[in-house]
Amino acid sequence: MNKFKKAQEILKEINGDGWLIICNEDNDINSKFLLGVESHALHFIFVSTDGKHKVLAVEMEANMIRRSLSSRGIKADIISYNSLKDLIPKLKPVINRPKVALNFGENIFDPDGTLYADYLQVGAFFAMQKLAPNTKFISAAPIIYNLRSVKSQEELKDLRNISNHLAKRSLNITRAKRHGRLFLRPKTWSYWVSTPATWPGSNAWMR
């Protein structure tokens, strides 16, 4: 089950009509989590309970988003815009629903609050209220929590593979340290060891 479908199921459980993510200049990590690519300009992701998902993005980034979603088998209507004036009439009908979830936290200074869901800018919240005065906006905290904390079997497999890879790499580095000086090359995560017997001679690369 892809992330859009998973979010759709959670929306049904909380009786929501949609989940709207408003992202500009990477200010909401949930955007890349869903799209699979970084969209830097102002864009809107609407996960709909009825499965008619929509993404509103600037013309120069719309095709990039379309390709990313298509490659993962996610069906969504990609709506492009070229100005804020062009955006408003396209966004209004998308959010004009009875109950829409937004990424804002509740009781954020409370230890049991939902600060982890607080990404929405205040100005954006007021703008949504103005565009859809009859829409009830609720916190997307239950969606974010369940979507990001509960892992699928595929995600668990990826995590195990990464953990095993890091464990083996750490073991190799520990062994290398025992035999001499360790030099790191971060870009490729490669390293070489130079022993006292060979300083300043040739270094043997270890991968």
Instruction: Tell me the pLDDT tens digit for each residue of 170-199.
Output: 766 665 555 555 555 554 444 444 444 444
Instruction: Tell me the pLDDT tens digit for each residue of 41-98.
Output: 999 999 999 999 999 999 999 999 999 999 999 999 999 999 999 999 999 999 999 9
Same domain flag for 181 and 102: no
The CATH number of the domain holding residue 17 is 3.40.350.10
Look up residue 177 and give its two tokens.
């340290």
Same domain flag for 97 and 196: no
Q: How many domains does the chain have?
A: 2
Structural domain range at position 11 = 3-149
Look up residue 60 and give its two tokens.
């120069």
pLDDT band at 152 (very low <50, low <70, confident <90, very high): low
The pLDDT of residue 89 is 96
Same domain flag for 43 and 141: yes
Q: Of 149, 165, 180, which residue sits at a domain end?
A: 149
Angstrom distance (rounded) from CA 33 to CA 177: 37
Tell me the whole-structure pTM to 2 decimals. Answer: 0.74
Give yes or no for a contact between 16 and 49, defined as CB atoms under 8 angstroms apart.
yes
Angstrom distance (rounded) from CA 85 to CA 68: 27
pLDDT band at 150 (very low <50, low <70, confident <90, very high): low
The pLDDT of residue 177 is 57
User: Which residues in 65-77 are b (16+ Cβ under 10 Å) and which e?
Assistant: bbebbeeeebebe
Same domain flag for 8 and 44: yes
